[in-house]
Amino acid sequence: MKKRPFSYSEIMAFDQKYRAIFINSLGGFKSVCLIGTKSNTGLSNLAIFSSIVHIGANPPLLGFIVRPDSAERHTLENILETSYFTLNHVNQAILNNAHQTSARYPRQVSEFNASKLTEEYNEDFFAPFVKESFVQMGIQYREKIDLKVNGTTMVIGEIKQVIIPESCLAPDGFIDLELAGTLTCSGLDSYHSTTKISRLTYAKPDTWPTELK
């Protein structure tokens, strides 16, 4: 496969839309989730995000990036107002519905209704889950970091609830997301299923990794 170098000046000379697609592809395959929120007045919101990152396990923290001046601000506004949101993995059966939530609907329109997805509430958790999702997390807002370099915001939350298929949980705590049907994405609009190659043992300087059974 022949490789082609691109200089910084070439990249910055790209058309803005072309550059956005190009750069978004470079980060590799990414987690893609639907973030569910609700305002204090009861209006639900649902938005697809592909910037979900693991922050830590003790306490259990996840983060995501919100772009400036975008339709996603409804998500951020609701989180700052109520302190709660949900993360819902996307599966193939709801792929088109999930992608549709990226459309710029006005504040008074719930993306749950617009994308034909079902609000679901678990116990007394404030924010809505996506019923059709197989891997769901209830998150409490913990911190907001404004990034001066490009005006984006990182939102960090603590996992308070987890709902997964029992069959996907291994004895050591590993969750088989492929078995759960979780999809991944690349770029801005390309979605993918996965094929596991192997799980490997913990790497040590004097031992070559072997496959975990």
Please name every residue paired with 88 in a beta bridge, in sequence order, or none if there are none: 34, 136
Torsion, CA 183, CA 186, CA 190, CA 195, rounded to 10: -40
Looking at this protein, which amino acid is placed at residue 44?
S
State the average pLDDT over residues 11-32. 95
167, 182, 203 from 159: Cα distances, Å: 21, 19, 28
Amino acid identity for residue 180 in this structure: A
Q: What is the pLDDT of residues 54-112, one digit of tens each?
A: 999 999 999 999 988 654 589 999 999 999 999 999 999 999 999 999 999 999 999 99
* Residue 17, domain member (yes or no): no
Q: Does 2 fall in a domain?
A: no
**Looking at the domain assignment, is residue 170 inside a domain?**
yes
**Total domains in the fold of the chain:** 1
- What's residue 68's pLDDT? 81
Q: Is 104 left (phi over 0), alpha (psi -120 to 50) or beta?
A: beta
Residue 10 lies in a domain: no
pTM score: 0.94
Please report whether residue 187 resides in a domain.
yes
Environment class of 210 (CB within 10 Å of its CB; exposed 0-12, middle 13-18, buried 19+): exposed
Write out the DSSP string of the chain. -------HHHHHHS-HHHHHHHHHHHT-SEE-EEEEEE-TTS-EEEEEES--EEEEETTEEEEEEE-TTSTTHHHHHHHHHHSEEEEEE-BGGGHHHHHHTTS---TTS-HHHHTT--EE--TT-SSPEETT-SSEEEEEEEEEEE-TTTS-EEEEEEEEEEE--GGGB-TTS-B-TTTTTB-EEETTTEEE-------BPPPBTTB---B--
What is the per-residue pLDDT for 53?
96
For residue 197, being part of any structural domain is answered with no
Question: What is the pLDDT averaged over residues 126-130?
Answer: 98
Q: What is the mean pLDDT of residues 14-24?
A: 95
Mean pLDDT of the chain: 95
Q: What is the pLDDT of residues 140-151, one digit of tens each?
A: 999 999 999 999
- Whole-angstrom distance, CA of residue 180 vs CA of residue 169: 10
* Domain contains 213: no
**The domain spanning residue 67 has which CATH number?**
2.30.110.10
Domain residue limits at 32: 27-191
pLDDT recorded at residue 85:
99
In a domain, 139, yes or no: yes
In one-letter notation, the amino acid at residue 82 is T
Position 40 confidence tier, pLDDT thresholds 50, 70, 90:
very high
